[in-house]
Structure 1
Amino acid sequence: MSNTLIIVASFTAKPGQEERLRQELDAMIAPSLAEEGCLGYQPYADPARPDRMIIMEEWADTAALDHHFSLPHFAHVAKALDEILAEPFTLRRLTGIPA
């Protein structure tokens, strides 16, 4: 089994901030996918709750994720999220289950 790390980041926007949250998360896709060690990075919206979104991320290992957290585009979105979110975002770190 590889050390691949799956991240599920969950977000709840303040009322009226749903579109801005979507834009900020979309803006993270290209720079994140360009990072060495990023294997997947895709935001999703809850069709029943437009204020709720997640990002499913796949990283080669913990070192790649830690590097992601140190980059300017992450710092930018973290600052924006402070203004947009109704509550702090959550991160779930998952690993594959050996067959």
Structure 2
Amino acid sequence: MPHTTVSHDETQVWLMPVFTAKAGHEAMLQEALLGLQSLSRKDTGCLEYTVFADDQRPGTYVLIEGWARRGDLEAHNEEVHVKDFVDGVQSLLAVPFSVSPITPLV
């Protein structure tokens, strides 16, 4: 049987961005994240795009996003709704948002 390799672009990509609101900006950040969630779920290759409130850290929101291929994530990051979110959310954040790559244990 011939050995086949899966190209890097054909493997799923999972990320966990974390956002922490400045005091008094929690509602605006939450609204911005929910808008991003709604639009991003329609992007090609989106497997998962869900925002969670961190129950132990008020004002902190965790996004779990999954993409069918790296190319889908790259296309998503070039979408106007993503660029507008990143530009618009800076003033609402206590610290720059972080993005951790994550891997499902299957």
- Taking structure 1 as the reference length, what is the TM-score of the superposition? 0.90
The partner residue of 1:29 within 16, 25, 37 is 37
The partner residue of 2:61 within 32, 53, 63 is 53
State the match for 1:6 in structure 2: 14
State the match for 2:3 in structure 1: none
How many angstroms does 1:96 deviate by? 3.8
Alpha-carbon distance between aligned partners in 2 of 1:9 and 1:48, rounded to the nearest angstrom: 17
Judged with a 3 Å threshold, the aligned counterparts in structure 2 of structure 1 residues 3 and 95 are, in CA distance, closer, same or farther, namely: farther
Higher strand share: 1
Deviation per residue, 1:26-78 (Å, 9 max, x gap): 00122111111111100000123221111000101111111111011001110
Gaps of 5+ in 2: 1-5
The alignment status of 1:94 with 2:102, answered yes or no, reads: yes
- Taking structure 2 as the reference length, what is the TM-score of the superposition? 0.84
Alpha-carbon distance between aligned partners in 2 of 1:85 and 1:60, rounded to the nearest angstrom: 29
Which of structure 1's runs of 4+ aligned residues deviate more than 4 A?
none
Identical positions, percent:
29
The alignment status of 1:70 with 2:78, answered yes or no, reads: yes
Total equivalences in the alignment = 98
Alpha-carbon distance between aligned partners in 2 of 1:96 and 1:22, rounded to the nearest angstrom: 26
State the SS of the aligned residue for 1:81. Answer: helix
